[in-house]
Amino acid sequence: MKSRINIRMSGLGGQGVVTSAHLMAMAASHEGKFSISNPFFGAEKRMAPAESYVRIGPEKIYDRGELVFPHVVMVFHPQVITMGKSYTMPFYSGIKSGGLIIINDDIELLTDEEKLDLEKKKITVYYVPATKIALEIAGTELSTNMGMIGALAGLTQVVTMDGLDKALQDRFGKKYVASGGTATLDEAIKKKFAKKEMLLQKNLDTIRRTFDEASAFREKHSALLTSVNM
Amino acid sequence: MATVTNSKVPQIGQRNKKGQLIVDPNELFFLSPRTSSFLTGSEVIREAIRRSSVDFSVAYPITPQSEASSLVGELYAEGYVGDYMRGESEFAVMGQCAGAAFGGARVFTTTAGPGTLRAFENFPMWAGSRLPIEVVFTVRGVNSPLSIQPDTLEISFMLETGMLLWHAETAQDLFDFMLKGYYVAEQPEVHLPIGVICDGFFVTHTKDTVMMTPEDLALPHYDPYRSPVVCMDMEVPPVRMMRDPFVMKSNYISYMTHASWQLEIRAAIERSRKHTIPLLDGLIEVENPDAEIMFVASGTAVSQSREAIRLFRDKGVKVGLVKIKTLRPFPTEELRKATEHAKHIFVPEFNVAGWLAREVKSTIDRNSRVIAGPHVAGGMTMPPEIIIEEIEKYLAHSRNKELVHG
């Protein structure tokens, strides 16, 4: 197993960027790997830049805080790129050579200059329309983050669907308080579904869809993703 | 002196109203089975308080401790905390804490950054009044323009308050320090307030693996009759004396009274060592003790140093580390011994002032070996890659100097 995979998740407040990092870390922890996740944000408000970081590896992880040199950069919202709602400029600043970028959209967002720069660094760019898939499968854009972590897990195989399922049960199956803002959003999403089981199932379905697609991509392009393998 | 046992307070071997078994502290710390949990630092604070038989807690919101104090409120709702209220400001909170502690309660609160400074007058008052209150400082920036991000500058303000100050590296430290902190702080020969410090966000908002004691075991309740001083209300000495000329007047007796009491507070901090050393397995932890390049750090800077040591190891360079667990008492002799052989001592810090480097420099001999840095501040992360770069730059520079000057 590769020694460490460092993932930086950039998005906007309310999109579940922090929850995604926690879920990935919890899934990894369930599977016997070492993991650590933490968020960075300013005053809590929707649509403001928010970032979170996950580190997963085979030995105890001490490193904490903002990830300056990530293997994977995830873009949860096009505005991270188009409006610079990112903690770093460009949004992929510091990415390690051979790394991976996952963008939530189905249209090209990068400039020719950026594409050239990323090509030089041997970066794979993977687009996944996570919000569209969330709306289609779960019926709410609040499940965007599920689509994003499905793609991440499919491309890197850093955690399995089973691990994500368990993490989801842990996170939404019982009472959880991260902050006032998160509690409000949790309530909002619970109201969208008649039963908690339905919420868990729809979210899991969303993850499954992007996981399968990303796994298929990985099969086809295994040579591209060597440095983010686990 | 005979102690009075309140029959309403469950003793060791009895169960409290939540059904938790009250156990000997050492049994809780070292013998009870631990289970692995994956929690945020804020949740760890809740879990430590659940097991601490806390009588009273006051909450006032400030990032990054707001979640923790809110979670303590939930514990109160569940019946694990005796009483709980919201304060009007941090200054008021610390005053309320003092009142409850004077009244014989075990008290807990949290604050951070500007909140700590706003409450500041209370901390030396707590120490002088010998109130064993526990407060968790989830440290953050105190500068203007406003920052909510991790920065350890606030700790430097706390160093001479007369409080015990323990700096947690991780959520695991935070859990253990909170439980063990009450035990040490409440020893009759110590009986001082304790600040358990953790770095905001790096610990509070980070999900990490923590080995937890069982949920159904709790610390014995605080016994106010073990206080070494009588309750200092206005009618009882020595506070009674404050109303009298001999303390309030400008004369030699009054100076003596204050000076000797300040010395006694500091002596009490030193007396906490013998209780702390067995509980924390020493006031410092040393990694690679024979390395010529050493880090000396506390808090998250320890974790970042550990990662840098791994990267150095991969390059074939041996680097060591002294983790400082307690800032008060400061591990003076331990640090001298652990750094005796070191040629270069780097003190990485998450603040602009380099207060830990100052402490280290004033402690060890040949202190030109101490390099204050690398530093970050204002919420910046300290990636291990950058630590290595800075150290290599420094060492190359000092080699060049040697070449030039012989």
What pLDDT is recorded for position B229? 85
Would you say residue A136 lies in a domain? yes
CATH pick for B21-226 out of 3.40.190.80, 3.50.50.60, 3.40.50.620, 3.40.50.970:
3.40.50.970
CA-to-CA distance for A157 and A146, rounded, in angstroms?
A: 15
pLDDT(B143) > 90: no
> Min CA distance, A108 vs chain B (Å)?
32
In a mutational test of the B interface, the residue from A33, A64, A166 whose CB has the highest number of chain B CBs within 10 Å is A64
Would you say residue A171 lies in a domain? no
What pLDDT is recorded for position B240? 66
Q: Do B70 and A180 touch (CB under 8 A)?
A: yes
CB B149 within 8 A of CB B161: no
Which parts of chain A register pLDDT below 50? 1
In this structure, whether the domain defined by B284-405 belongs to CATH 3.40.50.920 is answered with: yes
CB B396 within 8 A of CB B402: no
Would you say residue A61 lies in a domain? yes
Among residues B118, B123, B127, B135, the alpha carbon closest in space to that of B174 is found at: B135
Q: Are strands B83-86 and B56-59 parallel, antiparallel or unpaired?
A: parallel
CB B328 within 8 A of CB B155: no
pLDDT > 70 fraction of chain B, expressed in percent and rounded: 93
pLDDT band at B1 (very low <50, low <70, confident <90, very high): very low
CATH number of domain containing A147? 3.40.920.10
In a mutational test of the A interface, the residue from B67, B205, B313 whose CB has the highest number of chain A CBs within 10 Å is B205
What pLDDT is recorded for position B258? 82
The total of structural domains in chain A comes to 1
DSSP assigned state of B375: B
Q: Which residues from chain B sit within 8 angstroms of residue A96, using beta carbons?
A: none
* Helix axes B171-185 and B41-50, enclosed angle (nearest 10): 30
CB B284 within 8 A of CB B331: yes
Would you say residue A124 lies in a domain? yes
Q: Who contacts B257 (Cβ-Cβ below 8 Å, separation ≥6)? A: B238, B241, B246, B247
Would you say residue A204 lies in a domain? yes
The upper half-sphere exposure of residue B353, i.e. CA atoms within 13 Å in the direction of its Cβ, equals 14
Torsion region of A218: left, alpha or beta (phi above 0 gives left; psi -120 to 50 gives alpha): alpha
Would you say residue A47 lies in a domain? yes
> Min CA distance, B296 vs chain A (Å)?
16
* Domain ranges, ordered by start, for chain B: 21-226, 284-405
CA of A29: which chain B residue's CA is closest?
B38
> Min CA distance, B273 vs chain A (Å)?
27
CA-to-CA distance for B163 and B145, rounded, in angstroms?
A: 29
Q: What is the pTM of this model?
A: 0.91
CA-to-CA distance for A38 and A18, rounded, in angstroms?
A: 7
- How many inter-chain contacts (A to B, CB under 8 Å) are there? 72
Q: Which residues from chain A sit within 8 angstroms of residue B140, using beta carbons?
A: none
CB A98 within 8 A of CB A120: no
What pLDDT is recorded for position B254? 74
Q: What is the 3-state secondary structure (H, E, C) of B91-151?
A: HHHHHHHHHHHHCCCCEEEEECCHHHHHCCCHHHHHHHCCCCCEEEEEECCCCCCCCCCCC
Q: Do A65 and B66 touch (CB under 8 A)?
A: no
> Min CA distance, B222 vs chain A (Å)?
29
pLDDT > 90 fraction of chain B, expressed in percent and rounded: 83
CA-to-CA distance for B398 and B183, rounded, in angstroms?
A: 46
What pLDDT is recorded for position A87? 86
Q: Do B74 and A36 touch (CB under 8 A)?
A: no
When mean pLDDT is compared across A108-122, B232-246, B354-368, B383-397, the lowest value belongs to B232-246
CB A20 within 8 A of CB A52: yes
Would you say residue A184 lies in a domain? yes
User: Where are any strands of DSSP class E within A5-142?
Assistant: 5-12, 34-41, 49-57, 72-75, 100-103, 124-127
CA-to-CA distance for A108 and A115, rounded, in angstroms?
A: 10
CB B328 within 8 A of CB B272: no
Residue-range definition of the domain harbouring residue A223 = 5-166+176-228
**B150, B304, B379 ranked by CB distance to A63: nearest:** B304
